[in-house]
Structure 1
Amino acid sequence: MSDVNLATIDLNLLNVVATVLAERSATKAAVKLYVTQSAVSNAMKRAREVFGDPLVVRESYGLTPTTRGAELLPALRAWLEEARRLVAKAPVFDPRTSTRTFTVACSDAVAIALLQPVLRLLKKWAPSTRLRLLTLDRLIAGDGLARGEVDLLIGIPPVMPPGLEAELVYRDPLECIVRRDHPQVRSKLTLSLYASLPHVDLALFGDIDDTIDRALARHGKAREVAVALPHFSSIPLAVLETDCVATISSRIARAFAARMPLKVLEPPLALEPIEIRQVWHRRSETDAAVGFLRSLVREAAG
């Protein structure tokens, strides 16, 4: 098939041809298209030049499609229907009836903090929707937000590539956990004891965050990280089996302590609270479903 330059063709002709072929009458086509009969006749003349075929022949009872015209009609109808679908307004999102699958990328810490309230709210407001969680490494490897495969990232984004928007979901102070029967820790951690204890820390992408090390260095102290783990959910298990201390967000610390024999203690030095944000791509700014999900996350965090 030779290349056709669509820029040289009036695509409105296709609508006229489809209507004439369907109605088998220039007069009826003109009425349906809200134009004059002469306008239809002129359009059909140009269409014959485009297709290199008469498209219709006049009979005593009206217009009859040529073989080429009859072949064109189903394809023209499909093309026009697709064109109408493309320019139609997006369907209204109704959470009560939607069956959409929401895809969220987050760490297991965010899942521990937010999964239960999010699920409760989805059950209440959008009972037929589904929730799919992805790990952060999966998000990064697949560039999920840019590709439109992920609705939200919830966490601590280290960088914000172009095209993304973010808003604060919640701030969470850091607290310490040790096992309840720890031989050295009673009801309070001193700075010296905190620095001397072995630590459990997170190595989310292989590297341990140095926030605590820098805070200790300002006091002339240093610590030893005895256990480095890739998942937040593993941290309390290591704490329970050792004399280690772990410093994690308050929501996570208290969620663990409610289920395990752990003590939650205030850190003996000033540490900035963590800031959890939700991040989305600008292309979803007008997606009512993603807007609903963002508001639901805010409510869950509250």
Structure 2
Amino acid sequence: MEIINENDLSRVDLNLLVVLLVMYEARSVTGAAQRLYLGQPALSAALKRLRAMFGDPLFVRSSQGMIPTPRAEQLVQQFAPLLQGMHRAIFSKPAFNPRQDRYSFRLAMSDWIEQWLMPDLLAELLVDAPQVDITVLTADPWQVTPLMEKQQADVAVTVGNPVSRDLTRAEIASAGFSTLWDSQQIALTAALTLAEFVRYEHVLVSYRGANESALDEQLQQQGVARRVRYVTPHFSALPLMLKRLPLFATVPQGLVSNWCERFGLRAAPVPVAMPDYQLSLLWHNARHDDDANRWIRDKLHQLLLRKRL
């Protein structure tokens, strides 16, 4: 790409190029002045500046009006498409057409949200937006804010309450937790009680390797504790653990129906009070008015509302 000398361009009045093109079409100082809503003296002054800028008469009087010189012909051929492109860039905001446009979105979320949402979203896009691709970036609640501040993703689906002056967060829905187990490994004859809950060992998802969570704080208030036997950052590891070992896993409600159907697990309400989690969309303020970004946000918003529990 050729280097632009900003000092050269700063001395150029781009309005003069508009005068050049209108003069070329009107072939008359009076006609060009009327089209530009200028007085004839102002148009004559602009033409004088154009001639000085290019070192050429540009237009000469004849019985047929102001005839362009070869230099004017050359300049019009060069500038007309440039000014037309500039006009489109300034005044024609391109609209995103999901049925026709090819686009690749980068969405940030944790693995359980991906399991819960993305099969439905991708199925919709195959019908509604066949040229749209999705790349998912792993983003737990601790990763999501810096990732979005750097604009490494278009939209994040997250829990918690991330705060940043660079980002916009829209709270969509709240949901709770359930406890899962395999009936071949833990045979409960009645509802899941607190005593049964702490009798067996647990698996825990922790993005930072902690072996306690808000659930353990609730248990302490009841004067009991559980043993966490296995800690992982991946929800996807839990179903196979439950199928082989007598373990409980307490997971977001969004995973429950799918895991019970696919893996034959049982589910019950957590036997202590647990605060709900808040599902939110997060995006950078720089993308707030972007047509494509607004479209995928709306898609995610509608999907979250349909699937909330």
Q: TM-score range by the shorter chain?
A: 0.7 to 0.9
Find the aligned partners of 2:89 and 2:175 in 1 and give their Cα distance.
Answer: 44
1:115 equivalent in structure 2: 118
Q: Go from structure 1 to structure 2 and tell me whether the alpha carbon gap of 1:271 and 1:140 turns closer, same or farther (over 3 Å shift).
A: closer
Letter matched to residue 119 of structure 1: L
Identical residues among aligned pairs (%): 24
Find the aligned partners of 1:239 and 1:267 in 2 and give their Cα distance.
Answer: 16
Residue 194 in 1 paired to residue 197 in 2? yes
State how 1:132-151 maps to structure 2 within 5 Å: 132-136=135-139, 140=143, 143=146, 145-151=148-154
8 A contact 1:26–1:41 mirrored in 2: no
- Count of equivalent residues: 297
8 A contact 2:144–2:156 mirrored in 1: no
* Aligned partner of 1:285 among 267, 288, 303: 288
* Aligned partner of 1:77 among 77, 80, 94: 80
1:44 equivalent in structure 2: 47
1:4 equivalent in structure 2: 7
2:215 equivalent in structure 1: 212
2:157 equivalent in structure 1: 154
* Pairwise CA distance, 1:247: 0.4
Find the aligned partners of 2:8 and 2:211 in 1 and give their Cα distance.
Answer: 58
2:60 equivalent in structure 1: 58
8 A contact 2:260–2:267 mirrored in 1: yes
* Pairwise CA distance, 1:130: 2.9
Letter matched to residue 17 of structure 1: L
Find the aligned partners of 1:231 and 1:294 in 2 and give their Cα distance.
Answer: 26
Specify every segment of 5 or more residues in structure 1 that has no aligned partner in the other structure, as ranges. none
* Pairwise CA distance, 1:271: 0.7
Indicate the RMSD between aligned Cα atoms, in angstroms: 3.3
* Pairwise CA distance, 1:294: 2.8
Deviations 1:221-246 (A, max 9, x none): 22222211121111212222222211
Higher mean C-alpha deviation, range 286-295 or range 107-116: 286-295
* Pairwise CA distance, 1:264: 1.0
* Aligned partner of 2:262 among 256, 259, 263: 259
Find the aligned partners of 2:163 and 2:120 in 1 and give their Cα distance.
Answer: 27
* Pairwise CA distance, 1:153: 0.6
Deviations 1:80-125 (A, max 9, x none): 2342122123233444444333332111211222123323433444
TM-score, length basis structure 1: 0.81
* Pairwise CA distance, 1:266: 1.8
Q: Go from structure 1 to structure 2 and tell me whether the alpha carbon gap of 1:274 and 1:3 turns closer, same or farther (over 3 Å shift).
A: closer
Specify every segment of 5 or more residues in structure 2 that has no aligned partner in the other structure, as ranges. none
* Pairwise CA distance, 1:152: 1.5
Find the aligned partners of 1:10 and 1:209 in 2 and give their Cα distance.
Answer: 67
2:168 equivalent in structure 1: 165
SS of equivalent residue, structure 2 residue 262 = coil
TM-score, length basis structure 2: 0.80
Residue 222 in 1 paired to residue 219 in 2? no
* Pairwise CA distance, 1:78: 4.8
* Pairwise CA distance, 1:205: 4.2
* Pairwise CA distance, 1:176: 0.7
Deviations 1:194-234 (A, max 9, x none): 22322111122444562112111111222222211121111
SS of equivalent residue, structure 2 residue 223 = coil
Find the aligned partners of 1:290 and 1:135 in 2 and give their Cα distance.
Answer: 19
SS of equivalent residue, structure 2 residue 192 = coil
Find the aligned partners of 1:250 and 1:2 in 2 and give their Cα distance.
Answer: 60
Find the aligned partners of 1:48 and 1:146 in 2 and give their Cα distance.
Answer: 50
Find the aligned partners of 1:52 and 1:133 in 2 and give their Cα distance.
Answer: 54
